[in-house]
Structure 1
Amino acid sequence: MLHSASWRLDGRTRWSVIGGARASPQSPSDQRRHFLPLKVHLTNIRGLHSNLDPVHHHLETEKPHLFFLTETQIATPSDVAYLNFPGYTLEHKFKKCAGRLRGFEKSEFPVLWLLVDTGMEKSLYAGVYRSHSGDRETTRLMEYLAETADIALQRYPTAELVFLGDFNAHHKEWLFPYQKTDHAGREARKLALALNLTQLVDQATRIPDIAGHTPNCLDLLLTTDPHRHSVSVSAPLGSSDHCVVKSVSVCSPPDYTHRGTRRVWRYESADWDEMRAFFASYPWRRLCFYSGNPSCVADAITAVIRQGMEYFIPFSDIPLGYKARPWYNADCARAEARKQSAYQAWVKARDRKVRARKVRAKKRAYNAAARSCKRVLRKARFDHISRIGAKLASYPPGSKQFWSLSKSVESNFCRPTLPPLQKPDGSLAHTATEKANLFADLFASNSRLDTGSKHPPTLPHCDSLMPEITVFNKEVRRSLLGLDVNKASGPDGIPARVLRYCAPELAPVLTRLYRLSLTTKIVPKSWKLANVQPVPKKGSRADPSNYRPIAITSVLCKVMERVLNRKLLSYLEDNDLLSDRQYGFRRGRSTGDLLVYATHCWGEAIENNGEAIAVSLDISKAFDRVWHASLLSKLPAYGIPAGFCNWVADFLSERSIRVVIDGCSSELMAIDAGVPQGSVLSATLFLLHINDLLSSGIVGYADDSTVMVSV
């Protein structure tokens, strides 16, 4: 039976001083000014299975650095994934975990030992649970704690000792007012005297549900350095009758948990008719097209669309850092508030020593509020899971929507954040900002070329000439109506859903903007920024090179690209300017067609008693390392007008990326090569770039080429 467990925040086994540098020797009080509060919480949960939701909610809202639980009442499971909470590492008796002092632990004693090392000071935490197993076992447990503490202090002579847990001890002179002293109380008192420990919990921590049973102080926190701790007690979690003991110490690690907020739009409650009316009546020409600079106009239009969204779409600003509990609604919040209010009212009545009948009434009110809170939380979570199940059932098994929802559910409940990443110098990146900058350096380096004094190639001009491109309102409107509303918003924050639902009102405005961009040959600067999300591939997740960059660009820019790309591809296809041996990014062609053609060639060679030789080539970082000068020199050879070539040149120039992890952004990184990932035009531009490579005997699918020879 597992009696104890604890959660600790990921990356918190060892902490450093803010700023990263070691300071010169200072007094302990001066050193502690460099740290933020270290929060350590403790409770006897009285059954983790039935109270897992309240525990996870506590981790999300309170964000303690360490959370100790006793009396979890669960057998050793084969898989503990369902217990995990994003951003935390679970420490327990049946799994090897970093940060544990396993050399101090014995299987027969329900004790967890943890070392917290700030770089300047160390603290040894012992999570203890003493069961009602008799006086002899109690004595053995206390002797084990004393002996192990002596051994630990020999290894860490300057460390603070902290013992916390459910001691189930009574002592009328030492602990919260009791009428008796038992053997466990005397042994705990002897342990405190032997190790110079001070007990800091000074009020009841167990509130019995049974009438007539008095509150007890069973959950203790003993430390060798009481002046650094501030201890308080709050209401129990779930159905447990033990309060939560909270300790805040003045010597602590830097707090990396605050990562800002993200805005969540409640589209189901949006007033779309009013938003359309707002956009239809807005004076776009006077307030947005006051400048001939497309960058200024695009920024003004973006601001107006955002303004309309804030007026007519309800939204919430959700704290970043950990996965929110999506089932936790307003009813849950009100139930939690009523429970806490009832608990505080009972504590005040008890401390003021009012009439016993009134204290009992407050106690009954708290018990009722606690039971009601648990029912509300359970119902909210059940309803949320039922909605997800119904939604999953409505999707075809194996479809994109099915797997997308499945992965989001899995990520919300049990997947951790990115692990520490290996830097080139061998050190580790722990914080979200460090990880983002590490990825940004890596991804940007893939799109930088040193061309030296090389000259771009020249191609013979074709006989056809593409007419100048003109953007029409109906084309923009069709592209807006074809947007996928489930796609992510770009760096400008304009979602595809708003553009699609308000297409008739926004199409004329965007058409005017796109025409201005083509006329001036200038692409708005805000469209040249891409947010990049790292997605793990196979291999170690601690190696940044084992991640694939997924770029997210402006949806406003994608709409214009889709209009231009449709015209460009139509011209190239109508005039047979793309190699017939290219099967990638072509209408009516697929990998299956290429496979059939290759198989046919090999079969012919075998029928003629010959041999077929094939060599497959995969160009590494092909899209990321396109030489802009080479690409731009080839465009006129295909009859593409100079005005559009100049627009493409500006589209490719002065681009930058930033990596976003857990709400933290990297520095902007400039790139000078490659076709933009996540761009609609990129595929067609890449086909033009490698079009002259595909000659007789070579077939290709995008950047994958196969050389075939039959003899």
Structure 2
Amino acid sequence: MLGSIPGEANCLGPEASRGSLIILSVAGDTPGVGRVRCAKNRRIPALGQARTPHGGGVSILVRDGAGVEVGVLEKEVPERATVTRRFSADVNLIIASAYFPRKADVSSEALDTLLGANGAMVIGADVNSHHVLWDPLRPSDDKGECIVDWCVQNDMKIANTGLATRRQPGTAALSSPDITLCRDCEISNWKSALSPDSDHHWITFDVFVGTSLDVIAPSKPVRALYSWNKARWNEFRKLSDVLIFRGMKRSAKGADALNEAVTRGIRMAAKRTIPKGKGVAPPFWTPELTKLDKMVQECKNERKRDALIRWRRKVLVDTAMGRWKENVLKLSTTDSASWNLVKSIYAPRPLTSPVLVVDGHPLTKRQQAQALAKMYMARSTKAPHAPEMRILSTRRSTFRPITEAELDVALRELSSGTAPGDDEIHCEELKELGRVAKKCVLRLFNCGLRTGLLPAKWKHGIIVPLLKPNKPASNMASFRPVTLTSTLCKLMERIVARRVRDCVEDKLQPQQAGFRPARSTVDTLMQVTSAVRRRRDGEKTAAVFIDYARAFESVDHNCIVKALMSFGVEKHLVT
């Protein structure tokens, strides 16, 4: 473990009370792999120190002097000291420390002086600057922006996790002026703790040198999915009956309250009776990406979040390229795995959905959502003759409630394995509901049909833009929106659609084949073929094919309601 430990006065004497230390102790582990451990030992000799007569800076201490080379102390700004630890003939670790005084300028030229020879390197520095990537407690400044740009250009990774590294004397204000950088090595378990001797904190972390990323287990928290084959369905039915009935008994009247009781009961029953799997860890994920992912999720400032996302994307690309280079070096004409890799690269496969790009710049998630929403709203049209439909509540004497038989048919038609909506209710759970729970669901559906008011949460959906095959990602029109809505809502839609279909089926033209049971495009082709063959000698046959652009997006809903009511569909079915 390597530790950058600010302000250990007992090691260097009283004059170093405001300094920073890097303590290095070596333990033999895997041959050819260097692993460094941190230890607090008052007998460790100081090999180099970057500091000014007024204090500050970083010091390097090594407990075991075997295989250690000490560089020349440079007193120009930034003051810097270097120590090289040689683990073997091929595995080295360069430890550089630096100090930028508060009033000193931070530039790319000054930062370049910290770069040593190629290979694994760790830099611990008191930079007296701030950026959201290592100091979310203070606003970013120009010095911090310069350091981030320099890190990107030189493939340096920032190991800080956002914890404070300094407590202001007097005011106890927290900040992070100390930064830990690494190159060609992996840092994990970066921690910061209060020091009893200084206003700077102790900083400790693990460094992996001379090992590939395969040694470090992926630590990204994967989303665990339900293991439906291991579900205890008998317990689920009994528990869902009790929880849903109890929730409905206690809830207020109205579709929203009934929907909340049903969804809450299903979720609670599933949590107790359906286990979750471990999930599959994503490739190329490292502890640094886990840290960045957590920082992105917790960051509330949109500007800072965008900066974190850009940095996370850069780190992911670098990690993937490093893994790819390792795989390329292992390729062999006699290795079957190498040929499988080549086949997988050249195998035809559909395009994935990349990051939405506009004017050559990738958009953030919020910008993507706003741009797509604006485009889809502009496409939506309204017919000038469409009436403003105001459908009142249906009288109980004319209302035909949904029956349990209709619900069972709709449940059997639900597709398993589909993504749930925002309420996290799955089709598999609805299919296994008990008899009491089904009656509660029927009560919810009939309440919505009778009053014309559906739960407000059913109108919320998760829109996922999918890139159309062979379309450019730079054009927003290349994306097809797919909306994940409530599974309960889709279940009720199936029941209503069946009733509407039964009412209008005999009123539709026989030539229409789309969206009708027991019909397909083959029927239309047969009709066209028959018309061509029936022509007499000398007669010509003309055909007109019309393709409406964005037909589903431009259909006015009020016109659909008007047409359905003209077919005699009941009012409560078109609310």
Q: TM-score, normalised by structure 1?
A: 0.42
Q: Show the counterpart of 2:564.
A: 635
Distance 2:533 2:351 in 1: 49
Q: Distance in 2 between matches of 1:450 and 1:588?
A: 32
Asked if 1:590 is matched to 2:526, the reply is no
Q: Is the 8 A contact 1:488 1:495 kept in 2?
A: yes
Partners of 1:589 and 1:535 lie apart in 2 by 29
> 2:321 aligns to what?
none
CA distance in 2: counterparts of 1:271 and 1:305, whole angstroms: 14
* 2:447 maps to which of 504, 513, 516: 516
What is the CA-CA distance between 1:609 and the residue it aligns to? Answer: 2.0
CA distance in 2, matches of 1:457, 1:440: 24
Quick one: distance in 2 between partners of 1:624 and 1:554?
A: 21
Question: In the alignment, is the contact (CA less than 8 A) between 1:295 and 1:523 conserved in 2?
Answer: yes
Give the equivalent residue in structure 2 for 1:548. 480
Q: How far, CA to CA, are the matches of 2:461 and 2:249 in structure 1?
A: 24
Q: Distance in 2 between matches of 1:490 and 1:476?
A: 20
For 1:202-217, what aligned pairs fall within 5 Å after superposition? 203-204=85-86, 206=88
- Aligned equivalents of 1:201, 1:420: Cα separation in 2: 45
CA distance in 2 between partners of 1:178 and 1:327 (Å): 35
Distance 1:601 1:194, change over 3 A: farther
CA distance in 2, matches of 1:241, 1:583: 66
Tell me the residue number matched to 1:266.
Answer: 227
Q: Distance in 1 between matches of 2:423 and 2:232?
A: 22
Distance 1:242 1:481 in 2: 57
Separation in structure 2 between the aligned mates of residue 178 and residue 476 of structure 1, nearest angstrom: 77
The secondary structure found in structure 2 opposite 1:264 is coil
| SS at 1:282 equivalent | helix
Distance 1:559 1:199, change over 3 A: same
On the 8 A contact 2:231/2:273 being kept in 1, the answer is: yes
* 2:355 aligned with 1:419: yes
Cross-structure match for 1:305? 266
Displacement after TM superposition at 1:528 (Å) = 1.5
Alignment of 1:446-595 (within 5 A): 446=379, 448-449=380-381, 454=385, 456=387, 468-502=399-433, 504-537=435-468, 538-573=470-505, 576-595=506-525
Counterpart residue identity of residue 502, structure 2: S
CA 1:431–1:261 in 2, change beyond 3 Å: closer, same or farther? Answer: farther
1:107-186 equivalence runs, <5 A? 177=65
Q: Equivalents in 2 of 1:197, 1:590: separation in Å?
A: 78
Equivalent residue runs for 1:344-383 within 5 Å: none
> Is 1:230 equivalent to 2:160 in the alignment?
no
Change (3 A) 1:545 1:416: closer
Give the corresponding residue for 1:295: 256
Amino acid at match of 2:448: S
Uncovered stretches (5+) of structure 2, i.e. residues with no partner: 1-29, 33-61, 97-111, 115-122, 128-178, 189-207, 214-218, 286-336, 390-397
Alpha-carbon separation, structure 2, partners of 1:308 and 1:500: 14
SS at 2:408's partner residue?
helix
Counterpart contact for 2:248–2:258, Cα < 8 Å: no
Whichever residue aligns with residue 515 of structure 1, its letter is N
Cα offsets for 1:46-75 (capped at 9, x unmatched) = 99xxxxxxxxxxxxxxxxxxxxxxxxxxxx
Of residues 80, 86, 94, the one that matches 1:220 is 94
Q: How far is the alpha carbon of 1:289 from its aligned partner?
A: 6.9
The equivalent residue for 2:281 is: 324
8 A Cα contact 2:415 2:427, kept in partner: yes
**Cα distance, 1:420 vs structure 2:** 4.4
Tell me by how many angstroms 1:298 deviates. 0.8
Structure 1's 216 and 564: CA in aligned 2 closer, same or farther, altered over 3 A? closer
Residues 457 and 534 of structure 1: is their aligned pair in 2 closer, same or farther, counting only changes over 3 Å? closer
**Amino acid in the other structure paired with 2:499:** K
Match of 2:196 in 1: none
Distance 1:481 1:581 in 2: 30
Task: Supply the distance in 2 between the matched residues of 1:327 and 1:481 (Cα, whole angstroms).
Answer: 41
Does 2:547 correspond to 1:618?
A: yes
Shift of the 434–274 alpha-carbon distance from structure 1 to 2, 3 Å rule, reads: same
What amino acid sits opposite 2:363 in the alignment? H
> Secondary structure of 1:624's partner?
helix
Check the 8 A contact 1:298/1:524 in 2, yes or no: yes
Distance in 1 between the 2:407 and 2:250 partners? Answer: 18
How many residue pairs match? The answer is: 351
Q: Secondary structure at the match of 2:552?
A: coil
Gaps of 5+ in 1: 1-44, 48-173, 207-214, 246-257, 329-384, 390-405, 459-466, 650-711
CA–CA distance in structure 2, aligned partners of residues 560 and 434 of structure 1: 34
> Aligned to 1:623, what secondary structure does the other structure show?
helix
**Residues in 2 aligned to 1:193 and 1:539: alpha-carbon distance in whole angstroms:** 57
State the distance in 2 between where 1:311 and 1:275 align. 8
* Identical pairs, percent: 21
Task: Give the 5 Å matches for 1:48-67.
Answer: none
Find the aligned partners of 2:364 and 2:278 in 1 and give their Cα distance: 22
Specify the SS of the correspondent of 1:548. strand
